[in-house]
Amino acid sequence: MPDPEDFLTEWQRRVEQQTTQTTELSRRMQHVRASASAHGGEVEVTVDHSGGLAGLELSERALRLSPGELSRAILETSRRAQAQLASRMNELVTDIYGEGSDTAGFIGSAYAETFPPPPEDEEESTRRDRL
């Protein structure tokens, strides 16, 4: 029969380890940003750790676009930056919790589902994978 004292000591060690990892993850997540540029270079978007807009740069080319074209370029570029964010967050949680960790898998999957690659990037990625 397992010693209750050993069980409690091991349980406390695991709780402390999880707390340390979670604190480190939270601290590092606050600093993660991702940027993407429009394919034509008209727009550059930076998103913060939550996927929210943290920066927007418009080139001279952007000023020659119609309002509809500009808004589409901004939205598409934002989605690409968010997809990069999901990838960076997956790397971050894997670095902290380890490959194959349930916690890393859960957090990585949540970001990937929330910020999937835009359809054109998925097609481009699939095309590159086949080459």
CATH architecture type of domain 30-130: 2-Layer Sandwich (3.30)
Direct distance between the N- and C-terminal alpha carbons of the chain, in angstroms, rounded to an integer: 58
What are the strands, taking DSSP E only, across 10-111?
34-37, 43-47, 53-58
CB 89 within 8 A of CB 82: no
For residue 126 the two structure tokens come to 């699939």
3-class secondary-structure state, position 22: helix
pTM, entire model: 0.79
A 10 A CB-CB count for 78 gives 21
Confidence bin at 126 (pLDDT 50/70/90): very low
Rounding to the nearest 10 degrees, give the CA dihedral for residues 59, 114, 14, 100: -90
Domain ranges for the chain? 30-130
Distance CA 49, CA 118 (A): 18
pLDDT in tens, 78-110: 999 999 999 999 999 999 999 999 989 999 999
> Across residues 45-52, what is the average pLDDT?
97
DSSP string, 1-19: ---HHHHHHHHHHHHHHHH
